[in-house]
A and B are shown apart, each in its own frame.
Chain A
Amino acid sequence: MRAKYLKPAILATLYIGSSHWSGLALAQNTDASNLYKRSLAATCANCHGTDGKGVIDGGMPLINTLTSEQMLTQLKAFKSGAREGTIMPQLAKGYSDEQLETIANQLGKK
């Protein structure tokens, strides 16, 4: 779904409707929901750059070349152990599938 083409009110509804942050969904508006998503994705920024924009030639693999779908596939492969690595298999196991999906949606190439 290309959410960016939808009107803001519908977008907000979709955010609320699909929020994994159940129980609180009713009390949230779009901005609050966005803040939640941004702060979750910000846990990746220490190594992969603010908003997923990593330092070019900094030595760390860049993630902002991946679409959200590709990113989620990789994150899930790290989590399941299908993809080997150094730190990422260990970190991916610390997130729920829903959290990984939120992160991928947030940081994937738009």
Chain B
Amino acid sequence: MDRRHFIGQSAAALGLLAGFSGQARANLQKAEILVIGGGYGGATAAKYLRLFSNNTAKVTLIEPNASFISCPLSNLVVGGSRTLAELTSPYDNLSKRHGINIIQDSVASIDADKKTVKLASGKTLRYDKAIVSPGITLMMNSIEGLAQANKAGVTLQAWKAGPETVALHKQLASMRDGGTFALSIPEAPYRCPPGPYERACQVANYLKKNKPKSKVLILDANQDVTSKGALFKKVWAEQYSGIIEYLPKHNVTAVDAKNKTIKLEVQDDIKADVLNLLPAMSAGEIAVKTGLANSNGRWVNVNFINFESTAQKDIHVLGDSIQVAPLMPKSGHMANSHAKVAAAAIVAELSGWEINPAPVLTNTCYSFVNEREVVHVASVHQYNAAEKTFKTVPGSGGLSPGPTTLEGVYAWGWAHNIWADSLG
């Protein structure tokens, strides 16, 4: 075939396709797309639905909070070296720059058959596509007495960044020198695998400078450190010797708020001054309530090619709520990555195009071991069509050789860029 002939044929084919896609395009423009939850997953999905549709898709974002507060880096607030304000971004760029309709409200219920969403304020919205990105639920009942202890302000989780993050720092700051800060970790999977170990570093860093006779006690339900294990253990030995005590296979079952005592599955009770007890976690409440959590009643199974729930058609679920693929962490970076794959798939579907059969996800996670030095873990996940899941690429990804201040600079660079990518 000569070049002119080939171009002519392709142009003709293109004309046919253009006619077809013109009609499908109308579906894209007509569709009501509701995004529930404005975290790393939901905010990114809303923005990229607009970008990938060349600003033609109608997108509404429902989020109860007035502004976005980042969970990544919030351990620095617990440790006292940074403020919550430094981790806070507004939502209004999504409406001003990207034409997204933002409703500050929470979702009371989803009717998947009628394809409607009822807001807490009472209003009902219709959807053609819903993206559900509600983060996690802290299963307070998984530790006996935790709900009451938390209500009384004795225990705190600070696992959703916000006022509790600041309150936990205040508890740390008012702890006596010689006291114990107990941090318990549930069995994996939970939000942010390295997060608790980073928190231990930040608390220990504060104690080393301000209350050197005190200690951090890590009660880990897991067999061993679940992420960056060798790196954290080296830091604990080199920088926080005598401050951090790590106890694996210590599963917290109950807490006595009055006596500030922690009960364990096997070992003797432990008394502590500050109790930062992380319970087991599940998909965000609205996902569970809607019947989407079809993996052990805790996490949401999705089709990884477009993140559509396997329980309900036209509901796509992102971020920490999903039943993860192998070696896929529950992280903000990963939620942002999920969102782009889902947004592209929804735009393709509503446009009448085949969905990208080879999506790619990345993950990057930085952990601060003190105010300035950082270690990372990174991975690349390519979709495997045969197994219908994402798999990490052999030979790719990995860890830092050790903590550096250069990675501390990159960690902030990552934060500023992902906030801008998700919300800017």
A65 touches B (CB below 8 Å): no
Cβ < 8 Å to A, chain B residues 330-364: 333, 336-337, 340-341, 343-344, 347-348, 351, 353-354, 356-362, 364
Contacts of A46 in B (CB 8 A): 333, 336-337, 362, 364, 414, 417-418, 421
A45 touches B421 (CB 8 A): yes
How many contacts between A and B, using CB within 8 angstroms? 160
Contact with B along A2-40 (1 / 0, CB 8 A): 000000011011001100010010111111100110111
B406 touches A (CB below 8 Å): yes
A29 touches B21 (CB 8 A): yes
Contacts of A28 in B (CB 8 A): 17, 353-354
Given contacts A21-B358, A43-B337, A93-B393, contact A29 B18 (CB under 8 A): yes
Contact with A along B361-385 (1 / 0, CB 8 A): 1101000000000001011111000
B248 touches A (CB below 8 Å): no
Query: What is the CA–CA distance of A49 and B392 in the complex, to the nearest angstrom?
Result: 23
Query: What is the CA–CA distance of A48 and B336 in the complex, to the nearest angstrom?
Result: 13
Report the minimum CB–CB distance from A35 to chain B (whole Å).
6
Given contacts A30-B14, A46-B362, A46-B417, contact A94 B337 (CB under 8 A): no
Closest chain A residue, CB of each to CB of B411: A59
Contacts of B376 in A (CB 8 A): 86-87
Report the minimum CB–CB distance from A6 to chain B (whole Å).
11
Report the minimum CB–CB distance from A101 to chain B (whole Å).
14
Number of residues on chain A facing chain B (CB within 8 A): 43
Given contacts A43-B360, A60-B410, contact A31 B418 (CB under 8 A): no
B417 touches A48 (CB 8 A): yes
Contacts of B357 in A (CB 8 A): 21, 24
A32 touches B348 (CB 8 A): yes
A55 touches B (CB below 8 Å): yes
A31 touches B21 (CB 8 A): yes
Closest chain B residue, CB of each to CB of A92: B396
Given contacts A13-B10, A90-B398, contact A39 B410 (CB under 8 A): no
Contacts of A38 in B (CB 8 A): 51-52, 344
Contacts of B7 in A (CB 8 A): 9-10, 13
B295 touches A (CB below 8 Å): no
A50 touches B406 (CB 8 A): no
Which of B11, B359, B378 is A87 in contact with, Cβ under 8 Å? B378
Ordered by A's residue number, 29 sampled pairs between the chains whose C-beta atoms are within 8 Å are A10-B7, A12-B11, A21-B356, A28-B353, A29-B14, A30-B14, A35-B353, A36-B344, A38-B344, A39-B343, A39-B344, A42-B340, A43-B340, A46-B336, A46-B364, A46-B414, A46-B417, A49-B417, A50-B421, A54-B413, A54-B417, A59-B409, A59-B410, A86-B404, A87-B364, A87-B410, A91-B362, A93-B397, A95-B393
Shortest beta-carbon contacts, A-B, top 9: A94-B380, A60-B413, A59-B413, A94-B396, A58-B416, A39-B344, A93-B396, A32-B353, A94-B393
A sample of 5 more A-B contacts (CB under 8 A), given A9-B14, A95-B393, is A32-B348, A55-B413, A59-B413, A90-B398, A91-B378
Interface residues of A (CB under 8 A from B): 9-10, 12-13, 16-17, 21, 24, 26-32, 35-36, 38-40, 42-43, 45-50, 54-55, 58-61, 86-87, 90-95, 99
